[in-house]
Amino acid sequence: MINQQQLWDEHAAKQYDTPGEGMFSPEVLDPTVEVLSKLAGHGPAIEFAIGTGRVAIPLSEAGVQVSGIELSHAMISRLREKVGEDHIPVVQGYMTEATAGDSFSLAFLVFNTISNLLTQDEQVRCFQNAARHLAPGGRFVIELWVPQLRSLAPGHGGTVEVSEPGYLLVDTYDVLHQHVISHHVRFGPELLDGRDARIVRTPHRYIWPSELDLMARLAGFELETRWADWDRSEVTAESRSHISVYRLTAR
Model confidence at 139, in pLDDT bands (50, 70, 90)? very high
1 — pLDDT class (breaks 50, 70, 90)? very low
29 touches 6 (CB < 8 A):
no
The CA distance from 199 to 119, in Å, is 24
Q: Is the pLDDT of residue 219 over 80?
A: yes
Question: Is there a single domain that holds both residue 63 and residue 13?
Answer: yes
pLDDT in tens, 91-128: 999 999 999 999 999 999 999 999 999 999 999 999 99
Statement to judge: residues 96 and 154 lie in one domain: no
Average pLDDT across the chain, whole number: 91
| Close Cβ partners of 251 (under 8 Å, ≥ 6 residues apart) | 131, 136, 220
Burial class (CB in 10 A: 0-12, 13-18, 19+), 240: exposed
Predicted confidence at residue 188, as pLDDT, reads: 80
Are 158 and 170 within 8 A, CB to CB? yes
Please, are residues 171 and 204 in contact by the beta-carbon 8 Å criterion?
no
What is the model's pTM? Answer: 0.92
Q: Are 16 and 76 in a shared domain?
A: yes
DSSP per residue, the chain: ---HHHHT-HHHHHHH--TTSGGGSHHHHHHHHHHHHHHHTTS-EEEES-TTSTTHHHHHHTT--EEEEES-HHHHHHHHTTS-TTTS-EEES-TTT----S-EEEEEE-TTGGGGS-SHHHHHHHHHHHHHHEEEEEEEEEEEEPP-GGGPPTT--EEEEEEETTEEEEEEEETTTTEEEEEEEEESTTSTTTT-EEEEEEEEE---HHHHHHHHHHTTEEEEEEESSTT-PPP-TT-SEEEEEEEE---
pLDDT value, residue 200: 86
pLDDT of amino acid 251: 58
pLDDT tens across 5-61, in order?
556 666 676 766 787 888 889 999 999 999 999 999 999 999 999 999 999 999 999
Mean pLDDT for the stretch of residues 125-153: 95
Q: Are residues 76 and 192 in the same domain?
A: no
Domain span including residue 183: 149-204
Q: Choose between 250 and 88: higher pLDDT.
A: 88
Mean pLDDT of 164-189: 91
Distance CA(200)–CA(12), nearest Å, equals: 9
Residue 192 pLDDT grade (very low, low, confident, very high; cuts 50, 70, 90): low
Q: Does residue 138 surpass a pLDDT of 90?
A: yes
DSSP of 164-194: ETTEEEEEEEETTTTEEEEEEEEESTTSTTT
More confident position, 83 or 7: 83
Residues 111 and 223 placed together within one structural domain of the fold: yes
Same domain, 37 and 60: yes
Residue-level pLDDT at 208: 95
pLDDT at 224 over 50: yes
Domain count for the chain:
2
- Per-residue model confidence (pLDDT) at position 6: 57
Q: Is residue 65 domain-shared with residue 166, that is, in the same domain?
A: no
Same domain membership, residue 100 and residue 137 = yes
* Distance of alpha carbon 170 from the chain centroid: 19
Instruction: Read off the pLDDT of each residue in 134-143 and give the average, rounded to a whole number.
Output: 97
Specify whether 131 is located in the same domain as 163.
Answer: no
Model pLDDT for residues 58-78, shown as the tens digit of each residue: 999 999 999 999 999 999 999
Domain with residue 237: its CATH number is: 3.40.50.150
Is 157 in the same domain as 140?
no
